[in-house]
Amino acid sequence: MSQKNNMEFNQLTIHELQEKLRDGSLTSVEITESVYRRIASVEEKVHSYITLMEETAIGQAREADRRIKEGNADELTGIPIALKDILCTEGVRTTCGSRILENFIPPYDATVVRKLKDAGAVFVGKTNMDEFAMGSSTETSWFGITKNPWDLERIPGGSSGGSAAAVAADECIASLGTDTGGSIRQPAALCGVVGMKPTYGRVSRFGMVAFASSLDQIGPVTKDVEDCAIMMNVISGHDTGDSTSVPAEIPDYRKFISRDIRGWTVGIPREYFVEGIDPEIKDAVDETIKILEDLGAKCIDISLPHTEYCVAVYYIIAPSEASSNLARYDGVRYGFRATGGEDLLDMYKKTRSSGFGAEVKRRIMLGTYSLSSGYYDAYYKKASQVRALIKSDFDNAFKKCDVILTPTTPTPAFRIGEKVDDPLQMYLCDIFTLSTNLAGIPGISVPCGYTRTDLPIGIQFMAKHFEEGKLLQIASAYEKNSKIERRRPEL
């Protein structure tokens, strides 16, 4: 075997591979084969994927190599990328981690999938996730649990756990996830990778199976911040297929990489340093503050006074929207249908009872109750009013600072099964990430160290609407100056 074949191309970043593809020292087929070799050796342990697309991927890689030879390459041409199994892929099953969509094959591509295809990306497969993106641990998937590559007895986070675990385990070069209350940033933090939730409306949601339509957003999971910028360049932009997509100008996000942050003001919200935060996470945040100050930023205390209501507000709004969105799964039009129903209503009941898992049923019931006659004003309407106050908190805070810094999670990854029977404890895992979705602002999680037991820790930056460039700028400045050792999980 040649020296070239001994190299592990799957460990490289998008920008490192771009150079090698451009100078002809590497082909997309070689990179893709390297990724599938890695999958063959570790996927049985990690279980990042629901569906692999090897035959399609090799075909896409050959086409990418042809494009590169012709000088027709895009930023992602030839790069193997994984897709969360909530994004519609024409001709490839899209399950949302649920029995009810176990054999659903969409007739069209989601807009982000089409954009990646047009850019010449290679699709590795569809990643595992909490059922219908409802969960914080990827334990609610009908297809089994994904494990954290850093410790196979621990969860990878959720709901985009498969997307984060696949990047961390080098089973793809980058991936797409979705974030409704932290579902990109929380698993990114727990798996030691970078994850961004863009501004609501920045990336089209067309072809993403809806969970909570006013909160859902698609975003990248990558090995470093520059890769995140590259992915954002390709997936961002206005789309007439999504009525919530905003026709705002898209900057070249790579131009924000490696700029300095001298003179910036960073807000530290006192409400995020609650009782119960892991001391090692608190130490990592303190260390991050020191590094930012050394880079010329000024860190100040700020207040987001309605933070304490975020969890309650989220768990009224998200389930309410879910109960409406998931009404379409009735066994009639597509997806799983239970047999043996006496009449139409009985078939509905049997299909939904056996097609949905416990967490999805719990949220549908919570949401239906919140929206029901006599309770709408007390719950959904009130939650929407408090949501407006939460957004106002951020508007006021950004008058004093450029970005906000918080921990991404209150604790490192917990053990599989530890919180699965305690929904409230599970919901509290997202306490630091929910607010960005409620306010519609962008957030990014960046690795900021490890615990004494080698579990990754993430730090979160938040910015004003459509200021993803600022997040990439400070995240990149931090990443380049933090001197955190770049480790790989020992699988």
Comparing CA positions, the residue from 476, 399, 469, 389 lying closest to residue 435 is 389
Catalytic one among 84, 197, 223, 464? Answer: 84
Between CA 446 and CA 451 the distance in angstroms is 15
Q: Is 354 a catalytic residue?
A: no
Cα 451 versus chain centre, distance = 22
Q: Which residue in 98, 141, 183, 323 is the catalytic one?
A: 183
Contacts of 245 (CB under 8 A, 6+ apart): 201, 204, 205, 206, 237, 238, 239
Question: Is 383 in contact with 316 (CB distance < 8 Å)?
Answer: yes
Task: Give which of 101, 82, 103, 84 is closest to 216, Cα–Cα.
Answer: 84
Sorted by sequence, the CB contacts under 8 Å of residue 162 that are 6+ apart come out as: 47, 48, 49, 50, 82, 84, 85, 127, 128, 129, 138, 146, 156
Task: Provide the 8-state DSSP code for 128.
Answer: -
- For the question of residue 159 being annotated catalytic, the response is yes
Spatial separation of the C-alpha atoms in residues 438 and 465, rounded to whole Å: 12
Question: Which listed residue (48, 98, 159, 204) is catalytic?
Answer: 159
Residue carrying structure tokens 């985009």: 160
- Reference 442, options 220, 129, 274; nearest CA is 220
Unique residue bearing structure tokens 């006192």: 270
Identify the bridge partners of residue 433 per DSSP, sorted by sequence position. Answer: none
Radius of gyration of the chain (CA): 21
**Is there a catalytic annotation at residue 183?**
yes
Q: What tokens appear for 299 in the block?
A: 């860190």
Q: Which residue has the tokens 């730090």?
A: 459
Asked, as a colleague might, if the bond just before 98 is cis with ω within 30 of 0, I would say no
Q: Which residues are catalytic?
A: 84, 159, 183
